[in-house]
Amino acid sequence: MVDLIEYERGAQVAVSPRGLSRFRSMPVSKIISALFRDPRHFQITALSTLVLLGAFYYAFGLPLWHVLSCVGSTVATQFVGDKITGRRFDARSPLISALSITLLLRTGSIWLSLAAGIIAIGSKYVVRWRGKHIFNPANVALVILALAFDSAWVSPGQWGAAPWLAIALFGVGGAVTKKASRWDVSLAFLASYAALVLARALWLGDPLSIPVHQLQSGALLVFAFFMISDPKTTPNARLARVIYAALVAIVGFTIQFALFKSAGVIFALVLTAPLVPFFDNLFPASRYYWPNQIRKPVSQSPVAQPEGVSHDTVQT
């Protein structure tokens, strides 16, 4: 069972499974508050809701086998990877990756659904720089499968552009990124992308309703608040994150409107991800840790960091 975290007078305290009995006497409101101190719980709740909406409200034809395959393969790969590297298993991060893949990947093959989870989590262990994985797991899996197989594709248009959905995603996504201290990435990306599509509309003489409609895209907002905002694959410094988000918007805009790829921002994130170590070196700042991770001393050399996956629970 994954340890819970409790904050007492600003101090971070790990609660072992044996100590969970303490929570039985706590009011429900305090238990919920303790759980949602970790931004991953916000993400899981929001993404699960979107999956349910996609399956039952929007009638995407989202089969149960696709959902279970993505979730099962990501969690299983994480379990195996943690066993190999000696880390404590934590299902939250792979579950977020699985739900993100489920929302955007479309395929008629259960094997590709399974492969998506394996590629996503496997990339965290294989492609690394100084203890930090380079690519957003869900993002790299989507791009590899979409490019390698005709029977797999990214479907950004399925969410439509309903104003109520845009408002809901903006509100929920804003809460998630604020909790993870990455609201600056999402807002910088959306502001940059909005400026580009508005400029394009003015240049072409299009009515402003066209760029407004484009900015209400559910898939665009899912990307902005649940993919590019991943605190483990974005630059550590705020200024670097703002610059990086603008760069992703520019590359994604170019791919979408110059190369006519509707999932331009999805491809842009993979192309720009290798630049994150460069930004981290150019703008030094402390690395982000999930609330249940042990902070390393500031003076510790990056080379001395323990091997494994830095975005999961640190072995104690």
In three-state form (DSSP H/G/I as H, E/B as E, the rest C), the secondary structure along the chain is CCCEEEEECCEEEEECHHHHHHHHCCCHHHHHHHHCCCHHHHHHHHHHHHHHHHHHHCCCCCCHHHHHHHHHHHHHHHHHHHHHHCCCCCCHHHHHHHHHHHHHEEECCHHHHHHHHHHHHHHHHHCEECCEECCCHHHHHHHHHHHHCCCEEECHHHHCCCHHHHHHHHHHHHHHHHHCCCHHHHHHHHHHHHHHHHHHHHHHCCCCHHHHHHHCCHHHHHHHHHCCCCCCCCCCCHHHHHHHHHHHHHHHHHHHHHCCCCCHHHHHHHHHHHHHHHHHHHCCCCCCCCCCCCCCCCCCCHHHCCCCCCCCCCCC
Predicted model pTM = 0.76
Tens digits of per-residue pLDDT, 141-160?
Answer: 999 999 999 888 887 655 55
pLDDT digits (tens, 9 = 90+) for 209-233: 888 888 877 778 888 888 888 888 8
Domain ranges of the chain: 1-37, 39-156, 157-289+296-303
Higher pLDDT, 18 or 156: 156
Predicted confidence at residue 16, as pLDDT, reads 45
